Structure 1
């Protein structure tokens, strides 16, 4: 297996996207802007209700860390994705999609069971609400992972959604130890306000006292640090991480290390679907850092890529579009 720059661990989910009304969210008791875990039967009932009354927009391979890994790879980085899919049609579709995007996977990821699915509900204001049946990915463990590429990687990337799984947290602990033994930097995303609210102890375990880079949005940052301002949240997060990125939607991003911090302006686009925007930001930011960019330049590229994701339906751009955006960005910076 070839060496990689990025070794990512996360859930493997097939997204089903729908344009929905706020009234529909209320009728289904779904909290707007968050992710809710569910069982297969409830997921099936919701899917039927969506098909009967809402606007279906299509199917896409998802999973937060997978979206990040696709962005990283499509921009020119090399990456491996550790996940778990079922030995079913959706599992084949999922892994084939990653491989077509140039991302390495392992056959260890395939096991008996059902591949996870996520109903992505996009409201009129472009906010995404997610209803997730994890399927077999809920049992992700180190048995599904080939850690060989991690030993020579530059970054280990951890998805905060894994905080709900006992076996996944144990797998991350193994990965963190390998990373530390081989001087691999560790990055994590808090993923979702619901993870901070309902799986706080799991996130603490994933962070394990200190990491090199934390990604989060404003709400997650303040909830996790139990503060009321982004500035206070940043101060506390810097105690846990050498570098911190707090995304702020159209306002841009607050990026900092132990010596400096910047507010990098956002980019105006017509928002269509926020699903995957934070994931794309993380992938582009990590790619830029890996290429030697400073925090400000990395954030500028990440804002460009993530804003284009927001301007379309689906969590990922076409693979070729990432490279085109990078070329335009480099020309403007030259």
Structure 2
């Protein structure tokens, strides 16, 4: 039987990545070490990782009718993403990323065409969405579109994944319709209004968020690792000890790998370990999508036994 599609609905940004020793002080001009340009956007990143792992992946979004849009569509097509549902309007979204020597980063986005996705765009692809296995969403497109998608497909067999990033206040009825919520420590803290200062705190926040969702909460903790909470499973998975070069897109790589593992029917522990490994590989290389590993790169860690 033919595998069902993964449909990612979200942002496509052209990234300008500046590698530098530190951020400048207010009013200071600081000389950077290197400039890297390439494809990005949380939606596009997650779609790219799904496709690079061999999943049939469709990207839904908007880019500008400009050279940046051409580059974004071309990069996704090159890794196997179906880009026929990407529309062109306005100017392409941009991401400005400052990467520090330890791999940590500071990111600013310009919405551009990402903010022009409409409810009508969603209605036009209804047949694609109802026949998909996963709908993957982030918060870099209009809030009303996100809410509309989740409400419309809540009672279908499609698994809805919400990466609440950048963090927004999500209505109770909307959050409850989400099957899998993925957030980092900052976003999780925002959602519950509490600081996160330890793994134990992350687990407690995950347990607090769980009953508000459809059944699974994943909190990524950067260099520390990640936490997963379901009604029957609660676990901290430590990060792998690697030499981080650039953490840009690592969270998106993690999500793409998690979806791959879930689609393969692996256990929750196996899914988390696999996603952890994929994101660890990602941070050892420069750039966003270019650093994401392929299925061939990871054949030795597909935990199927």
TM-score (norm 1): 0.81
Q: Give the corresponding residue for 1:78.
A: 56
Match of 1:132 among 109, 125, 135: 109
| Equivalent of residue 206 in structure 2, options 234, 248, 258 | 234
Say yes or no: does 1:189 pair with 2:189.
no
Q: Measured at CA, do residues 3 and 142 of structure 1 come closer, stay the same or move farther in structure 2, by a change above 3 Å?
A: farther
In the alignment, the residues of structure 2 paired with residue 333 and residue 185 of structure 1 have an alpha-carbon distance, to the nearest angstrom, of 22
1:172 is paired with a residue whose SS is helix
Decide whether the 8 Å contact of 1:152 with 1:182 is kept in 2: no
Distance 1:204 1:176 in 2: 11
What secondary structure, in the 3-state scheme, does the structure 1 residue paired with 2:16 have? strand
Distance in 2 (CA, whole Å) between partners of 1:28 and 1:101 is 41
2:198 corresponds in structure 1 to: none
1:64 is aligned to 2:42: yes
1:88 matched to 2:51? The reply is: no
Rounded Cα–Cα distance in structure 2 between residues aligned with 1:176 and 1:82: 15
Q: Give the superposed CA RMSD.
A: 2.4
Q: Gapped runs of 5+ residues in structure 2?
A: 196-200
Query: In structure 2, how many angstroms separate the alpha carbons of the residues matched to 1:314 and 1:92?
Result: 19
Q: Aligned residue for 2:154?
A: 180
Deviation at 1:56, TM superposition (A): 3.0
Which shifted more, 129-138 or 62-71? 129-138
Alignment size in residue pairs: 296
Distance 2:232 2:192 in 1: 20
**CA–CA distance in 2 between the matches of 1:219 and 1:135?**
25
Write the deviation string for residues 67-109 of structure 1: whole angstroms up to 9, x where unpaired.
1111111111111111111111111111121122111123561
Change in CA separation of 1:284 and 1:88 when aligned onto 2, cut-off 3 Å: same
TM-score (norm 2): 0.88
Larger CA deviation: 245-254 vs 302-311: 245-254
Aligned to 1:44: none
1:155 aligns with 2:134: yes
Q: Name the CA distance, whole Å, in 2 between partners of 1:79 and 1:333.
A: 22
**What is the aligned partner in structure 1 of residue 7 from structure 2?**
7
Match of 2:180 in 1: 213
Q: What residue in structure 2 maps to residue 42 of structure 1?
A: none
Structure with higher helix content: 1
Tell me if the contact between 2:9 and 2:136 (Cα under 8 Å) persists in the aligned partners. yes
Q: Within 2, Cα distance between the matches of 1:248 and 1:78? A: 29
1:208 deviates by 4.0
Query: What's the CA shift string for 1:206-231, capped at 9, x where partnerless?
Result: 94433110111223212211234213
Say which of 92, 97, 106 aligns to 1:120.
97
TM-superposed deviation, 1:323: 1.3
1:181 deviation in Å?
4.4
Q: Is the CA contact (8 Å cut-off) linking 2:61 and 2:117 kept in structure 1? A: yes
